[in-house]
Amino acid sequence: MSEVAVRGGPAAWRSMVGTGSEGAGQSWAEAGLDPRRALQLGLAAIWLLDGVLQYQPAMYTRAFGQMLAGTAAGNPSVVARPISWEASLFDHHVVALNTIFATIQLLLGLGIAIRPTVRLALAASVAWSLAVWWLGEGLGGVLIGGASPLNGAPGAVILYALLAVLLWPADRATRPRFPAARAVGAHVARALWLVLWLSLAYFAVTPANRAPGAVSGMISAMTDGEPHWLTGLMKGGASLVTGADLATSIVLAVALAVIAVGVYLPAPAARATLLLAIVVSLLIWVFAQALGGILAGGATDPNSGPLLVLLALAYWPARMAGQAGKKEIAP
């Protein structure tokens, strides 16, 4: 039993969960249980992880510049040329530039974690994410036909920017239906969710991703350098879908489309689709993304899986209790 319930009884409980026209997010914040702040701290933790990963010895070699240069391949020249220029710059100044790169990400994480600087850090993370999405991820491969929800499309770093916008510390409504609606409103938040997950559904069934061997081959290619236990899991997943790549792509696309429309459903159904989003994101993260490759060394981020989980939690419908009893807010 919580301390507030013991000390204050029913009145304290009503104060914590909110009554009447009070906002759920508002009353949670008063009780020190603001879900948006918890999500901001989750985003901060991922930025800190990115910064730590960027300090790995492998990032101080030419391999990092070559990795950046590889994202230019197949992109239009207007996208590819700045990437190639940046990769060349890293070749000549890798120590200084990589240290700056890593430090910026650490500062973003610390800035979001510290309340007085959260706005500045979230705004900076949007700008940084957009720059890295272009110059570090080649726009996530969305223009070259190779983007897939299994490999992190539409680019993991763009999800940082989306989360920063949705978790901005401002309130448009007194009665937020879910944390992501507080800053931009429920209609805009739902539309952003719909566009993201429908795009993932589309990427799942593009010609390159529904071709024979596409799904199983993508999973198998991620096993290099991974621990034995993770390699075994991934090989088992690859063998499971071998010969059924088209069917796997279709099933995945259908699941992603259901997730996309889930936030428009009543609260119980919305929770079911959000839970599906979390499960699918974790399965992709483990079996297709190898935990972002962080155990093999050389990864710069944990890939899209954890970010999609954090995003799903930002849309979790709030609960409110009125004087007549508990009442749920539909998302």
What's the per-residue H, E or C state across the chain?
CCHHHHHHHHHHHHHHHCCCCCCHHHHHHHCCCCHHHHHHHHHHHHHHHHHHHHCCHHHHCHHHHHHHHHCCCCCCHHHHHHHHHHHHHHHHCHHHHHHHHHHHHHHHHHHHHCHHHHHHHHHHHHHHHHHHHHHCCCHHHCCCCCCCCCCCCCCHHHHHHHHHHHCCCCCCCCCCCCCCHHHHCHHHHHHHHHHHHHHHHHHHCCHHHHCCCHHHHHHHHCCCCCCHHHHHHHHHHHHHHCCCHHHHHHHHHHHHHHHHHHCCCCHHHHHHHHHHHHHHHHHHHHHHCHHHHCCCCCCCCCCHHHHHHHHHHHCCCCEEEECCEEEECCC
Domain assignment present for residue 63? The answer is yes
**How confident is the model at residue 186, as a pLDDT?**
93
CA separation (Å) from 303 to 156, 207, 252, 294, 320?
5, 23, 18, 9, 34
**How confident is the model at residue 62, as a pLDDT?**
87
Domain assignment present for residue 26? The answer is no
**How confident is the model at residue 1, as a pLDDT?**
41
**Residues with pLDDT less than 50, the chain:** 1-31, 320-331
Beta bridge partners of 319: 328
Domain assignment present for residue 331? The answer is no
Domain assignment present for residue 27? The answer is no
Domain assignment present for residue 9? The answer is no
Domain range for 63 is 35-168+178-318
Domain assignment present for residue 112? The answer is yes
**How confident is the model at residue 316, as a pLDDT?**
96
Report residue 10 as tokens. Answer: 């029913």
**How confident is the model at residue 87, as a pLDDT?**
92
**How confident is the model at residue 172, as a pLDDT?**
78
**How confident is the model at residue 173, as a pLDDT?**
60
Domain assignment present for residue 25? The answer is no
**How confident is the model at residue 11, as a pLDDT?**
40
pTM for the structure as a whole: 0.86
Beta bridge partners of 320: 327
Handedness of CA 22, 26, 29, 34 (dihedral sign): positive
Residue type, 302: P
Determine the Cα angle at 225 with ends 71 and 143, to 5°.
20
Total number of domains in the chain: 1
Domain assignment present for residue 4? The answer is no
